[in-house]
Structure 1
Amino acid sequence: MSNAEAAVLPGQRPWIAERLGITGRRVDAERGQAIVRLIIVPLFGVYIVSVLAFDGLNTLGDWLAVSAVLAYIPISFLLFWHIVRRPGHFVWRRMFAMCGDYGAMTLAMAAGGMGMLPIYATLLWVTVGNGMRFGSRYLLAATGMALAAIAISTMFNAQWRAEPYVVITLVLTTLIVPGYIDSLQRALRGALDEAREASLAKSNFLAQASHDLRQPIHAISLFTACLRDAGLGREERQMVENIDRSLQSVAGLFRSLLDIATLDSGKVEPKLAPVRVGNVIGDVVHQYSEMAQWADVELRAVPCNLVVRTDPALLSTMLQNIVSNALKYAPDAPILIGCRRRKGTVSIEIHDRGPGIAEEHLDQLFDEFYQVRERGDRDIEGVGLGLSIVRRVGGLMGLDVELRSVPGSGTSVVISGLEPCREAVRPIVPAATSAPSAIAGLHVLLVEDDEDVLLATALLLRKWGCQVQVETGIPKIASEWDVMITDYDLGGRKTGADCIMAVRELVGRQIPAIIVTGHDETRVQRDLGDDSVPILAKPVRPAELRSVLTTKAVAAHQ
C-alpha cells in the first residue's frame, strides 16, 4: 500500500496518524508543518542573527545569511496563509517549502562557522518531520536535501572542513535516523493494514450474522403473534408471552451487532432536522414500556417541549441503548428521563435507582464488549456494546455522553450538547384510531423470498382481515392492490427498491409501500431515495407493523 493510500482505523485519532506518516486521513498535516515553521523560523532567526552579530558580521556571507533568514519569516506566514486558503495536497507547495527550509539553514551553516553547528538539530528535525507527515517519498527527498545542505555548508565553512569527523558524523546521522524511522513506519503501516482488514472482516461478519439470524427470529415473532390471537388458554398464552419476551431480548442483541457493524463501516451520516425532544423520548418510553413491565420497572419521562436540531433516528438509538441497559442492570428500580437547558444547549438525562457501578469500572464502560461482572452476579443478556454505540453515535453528532454512578444509589447518563432551535417541527400525521376497520379488507401485495417469513406474515395479515397476495419475487401481472409490503433482499440482484419501482410502473400509480429489512435502515433509505416509504427493521414487532400498515391504509383510501 502506498503512503497516499494508507488508511486510519475506525476511531483512530487523525493527529496520531499524521505524526506516523499515515496519510489516509491526513487532513491538517501540511498546516501542522506550517505552524511549526511559524514557531521555529523566528527563533531560528534570533539565534543566527545573535551569533553572527557577536562575530561582527564581517563577510558578505554573514549578511546574506541574516538577510535570507529575516526574509524567510514573512514567506513562512505567506505559506501558512496559502495552506489555510487552499488546503489539500499540492506537491509544488510542499517542495517549495522544503527548499525554503533547507536553503535558509544551508546559508546559516555555511556562513557561521562552528557556532552554527546546533542548526543541524533543526535540519534533522525538519527532515524527519517531512517524512513523518508526508510519507516515504518526501522523507527520501528531504534526506537528499539535508545531505546537500551538509555538503554545501562544508564547502564554504572552513571550520567544518577542519573537523572532518564532525562532518562524517552529521552525514551518517542524516542517513541512519531517517532510514530507521522509515523502516519503523513501514512496519507500522503493515500492522495497521492487518488490523484494518481484521476490523473490516469483523464488521462484515457481524453485519451478515445479524442479518441472517434476524430472518428466523422475524418469522418466529410473527408466528407467535398469530398464536396469541388463536384463542389459547391462560397457560398457553403465558407460554407465548414468555417466548415473545425471549425473542425481544435476542432481537435487541442483533440490533446492537448491526449498529456496531454499521458504525464501523463509516457510512453513517447524521441527517439533522428540527426535532421536539419530548417526542423522541416519548417514542422510546413507548417502545420499552412492555419490557419495563416484564422487569417490574417504572419507566417515566418528564414532559419536554424543547425543539433541537438533531438526527431523531440516531438520538433514538442512543436513548434505546441507555434505557435497555438500565432495564437489564437496574431491575425493580424506577427510571426517569428528562431534559433541561444547560449553558445555551439542551441535555437529556436518564436516571435510575439501581445498584450503581463501582468507580474502577466507569472509565471502561464505553469500551466495546466490556461488561461489569462480579463473582456471583446473575447472568445479564447482551455483549457489552450498548454504551460503546451511544458514545460513537454521539460523536457523529457532536454530542458529549457523561456517566455518573454511586454504588447503592443509582446511575445517571447525560447526553449534552444538543443545539436548540426555533424552526418549525414537521407535523406528524397521527395513525387512525380505528385500526381494525382501517385494515380490514385491505388488499396487500406481500413480496418476500424467505418462505417461513412469507408464510408467517401472510398468516398474520389475514388474521387482521387483509386480503393478501403473496409473491417470492417482483410480480408480472398487475392487480388492485392497496398497499405493498416487500423485503429488501429479493434474490437475483433485485431489491425492495427495484420491486417498488416495478410495481408502481405496473399499476400506473404511486402505490403506498413498506420495506422490511434486516440491513441498516440508513443504507436502505439511501438506496431507496424516498422518505415516504417506511422502513421496518427485522424482527418487526406485530404492533409496529400494524400501526404502519394502518397509516398506509388511511393514505391509500384518501
Structure 2
Amino acid sequence: MSHDYIAMTFAMSVGGQVTLPVYAILLWVTVGNGLRFGPRYLVAATAAALLALATTTFFNSFWRGYPYVVGTLMITAILVPSYIYVLLNRVHKAYNAALEANLAKSRFLAQASHDLRQPIHAISLFIACLRDARLGQEEQQMVDNIDRSLQSVSRLFQSLLDISTLDSGKISEQPEDVSIGEILNDIKQQNSEAAQWAGVKLKLVATHKFVRVDPSLLTTMIQNIVSNALKYAPGGPVLIGCRKRSGKLSIEIHDRGPGIASEHLPHLFEEFYQVRERGDKDTEGVGLGLSIVRRLSNIMGLEVSLRSEEDKGTTVIIDGLEIVSPPTQAPKIPNSKPVSMLDGLRVLLVEDDTNVLLATGILLEKWGCIVQQEEVLPEGKDVTCDLIITDFDLGAKTTGSDCINYFRSKNGRNIPAIIVTGHDENRVRDDVGDPEIPILSKPIRPAELRSTILALRLKLQRQTVKTVPSLQ
C-alpha cells in the first residue's frame, strides 16, 4: 500500500494535468484494499488517499489552480470508501450470523446424533442377544426385520455425525501403510447382510496392494458409496475393485442400477441433494453420502469422480492412492480354536447407560467372558481383569481414559482396553493419547466388538510368547 500511494502521489505531483487520470487508479486502489483486506484497511487506505491528494495539491501548481476540482476529488475519495465501508460491515455481520448459525447446526447435529446413538447401540446389542436365543423361524424373521430397520436409522445418524464433524473442522488425515484388500474385504463383510436384504450380489475383486492412507477416512468414503449402490441399485450386482493408473491406485465401485439422468450429475456431491423424479418411491437417507465422500477426499488429497448412464448403471471412482511396499509380516501364532478364545476372559465393563450396560454384559457372557459390570468408576474396589471396556463419558467429570489409567496404575500393568463412544473418534483419540487403545463408535455391530476383543487377546498372547525364554 505504501509503495502504491507513494508512486501515485509522485506521478500526480510532477505530471500536472496529463497525470490527472491517475486519480481513478487512486480511487480503485483505495476501494480494492478495503474489499481485499477488510474495513480497517479501507480506513487506512482512505487516509492515505487524502494525504496523497493533499501532497499533490501542495507540490503541483495546476492542482492549486482548481481548488473546486480538488475539493470534489477529496469529497469523492471520502464518500465512495465510506459507502463501501458501510457495505463491508453489513457483509461481515451477515457472514458472522451465517457462521454462527452453521456452528449451531453442527452442535445440534452432533449432540442429537450422540444422544440417539445410545438407545440405538443398546437395541443393536439386544438384537444380537436375541439371535442366540433359539427363536422360532417366525420370531427370527421379526428380529431380522427389526435389525434391518435399525441399520437404516444407524446409517442416517452416521451421516449426520460425519457431516457435523466435518463442519467443525476437527478432522485431520492420519495416514499409515494399510492393505487395501483387507479394507475392502471388511466393507464387503459389513454390508453382506444389507446386500442380502436388497437382493444385491456384492462382488469383490481381490487385491494384494498396500497404500498409504488414513484407513478410517477411506473406509467411511467407500462405505457411503457402497450404501448408495445398495439403496439405488437393488436387485443387481455391485462390483468393488481396484485399478492402477499412472503409478497410483484407484478404487472403483460399479453397479447395474437404473443410472442417473445427466441433468442431476453436476449436483450429486452437494449436501442434501437427492435425485427425485415424479412418482419415485421414498428412499432412506438425506442426501449427505456423496457430499461426505467429496469433503473427505479433499482432506486426503484424493480425487472422486462419478459417471452414470440411464438403464446401464453408475460407477464411482476414488483416485490418487499412493502405492507402497508391503510391510514385513510377523510370524503368526497358530490357533486351532479361535471361537473359544474368549472363554474365561475377565472383562471390566464400565458404562453409565443402564440399557447399554445390561445388553453388552449379556452379549459378553454369551461369548464366554466373565464380566464385572459397573455404572461408574469403581474406585476402591478390588478388580482383577484381563480387559477393560469403557464408555468415554462416565459422568462426574470422569472419562474412559481416566478409568483406564486408574486401573492400569492400580494393577501395575498395561491392561488392554477398548473405549466405546458416540463422539467424534479424533476428539476422543486426542484425549486418550494412546494409539494402542481401540476406539469404537456407537452403535457398534457385535461382530466388530468381538473381532476387536479377539485382536487384543491375540496381541497379548504374542507379547507373552516373546517374553518367555526359550529352553536350551
TM-score tier by shorter-chain length is over 0.9
Aligned residues: 461
SS of structure 1 residue aligned to 2:293:
helix
SS of structure 2 residue aligned to 1:376:
coil
Amino acid at match of 2:455: T
Counterpart for residue 456 of structure 2: 552
1:199 aligns with 2:111: no
CA-CA distance at 1:399 after TM superposition? 1.3
Residues 427/520 of structure 1: CA separation in 2 closer, same or farther (3 Å cut): farther
Q: Which runs of 5+ in 2 are unaligned?
A: 465-472
Q: Aligned to 1:498, which of 381, 389, 402?
A: 402
Q: Aligned to 2:77, which of 174, 179, 190?
A: 174
Alignment of 1:8-87 (within 5 A): none
Contact 1:449–1:473 (8 Å) recurs in 2:
yes
CA-CA distance at 1:432 after TM superposition? 5.9
What is the rounded CA distance, in whole Å, between the counterparts of 1:121 and 1:397 in structure 2?
46
Residues 107/430 of structure 1: CA separation in 2 closer, same or farther (3 Å cut): farther
Alignment of 1:258-269 (within 5 A): 258-269=161-172
Amino acid at match of 1:529: G
Residues 532/416 of structure 1: CA separation in 2 closer, same or farther (3 Å cut): same
Counterpart for residue 417 of structure 1: 320
Residues 445/239 of structure 1: CA separation in 2 closer, same or farther (3 Å cut): same
TM-score normalised by structure 2 residue count: 0.94
1:464 aligns with 2:383: no
Residues 527/397 of structure 1: CA separation in 2 closer, same or farther (3 Å cut): same
CA-CA distance at 1:437 after TM superposition? 1.3
1:515 aligns with 2:419: yes
SS of structure 2 residue aligned to 1:112:
helix
Larger mean CA deviation between 257-266 and 358-367 belongs to 358-367
Amino acid at match of 2:263: E
* Backbone CA RMSD of aligned residues: 1.8
Residues 385/425 of structure 1: CA separation in 2 closer, same or farther (3 Å cut): farther
SS of structure 2 residue aligned to 1:415:
strand
Counterpart for residue 488 of structure 1: 392
Larger mean CA deviation between 165-174 and 385-394 belongs to 165-174
What is the rounded CA distance, in whole Å, between the counterparts of 2:334 and 2:376 in structure 1?
30
Q: Aligned to 1:133, which of 29, 36, 51?
A: 36
Contact 2:209–2:326 (8 Å) recurs in 1:
no
CA-CA distance at 1:419 after TM superposition? 2.5
Return the structure number with greater relative CO, CA threshold 8 A, min gap 6.
2
Counterpart for residue 252 of structure 2: 349
Q: Aligned to 1:394, which of 292, 297, 301?
A: 297
CA-CA distance at 1:416 after TM superposition? 1.5
Alignment of 1:253-332 (within 5 A): 253-332=156-235
Counterpart for residue 529 of structure 1: 433
Q: Percent identity?
A: 60
What is the rounded CA distance, in whole Å, between the counterparts of 2:114 and 2:266 in structure 1?
32
Residues 354/246 of structure 1: CA separation in 2 closer, same or farther (3 Å cut): same
Residues 118/343 of structure 1: CA separation in 2 closer, same or farther (3 Å cut): farther
Larger mean CA deviation between 161-170 and 534-543 belongs to 161-170
Counterpart for residue 93 of structure 1: none
Contact 1:432–1:551 (8 Å) recurs in 2:
no
SS of structure 2 residue aligned to 1:275:
strand
Contact 2:221–2:293 (8 Å) recurs in 1:
yes
What is the rounded CA distance, in whole Å, between the counterparts of 1:429 and 1:171 in structure 2?
83
CA-CA distance at 1:428 after TM superposition? 11
What is the rounded CA distance, in whole Å, between the counterparts of 1:478 and 1:325 in structure 2?
49
SS of structure 1 residue aligned to 2:114:
helix
* Superposed CA offset, 1:40-82 (max 9, x none): xxxxxxxxxxxxxxxxxxxxxxxxxxxxxxxxxxxxxxxxxxx
What is the rounded CA distance, in whole Å, between the counterparts of 1:430 and 1:336 in structure 2?
34
What is the rounded CA distance, in whole Å, between the counterparts of 2:291 and 2:331 in structure 1?
31
Q: Aligned to 1:249, which of 131, 148, 152?
A: 152
Q: Aligned to 1:366, which of 264, 269, 283?
A: 269
Alignment of 1:134-149 (within 5 A): 134-149=37-52
TM-score normalised by structure 1 residue count: 0.80
What is the rounded CA distance, in whole Å, between the counterparts of 1:429 and 1:202 in structure 2?
48
CA-CA distance at 1:430 after TM superposition? 9.1
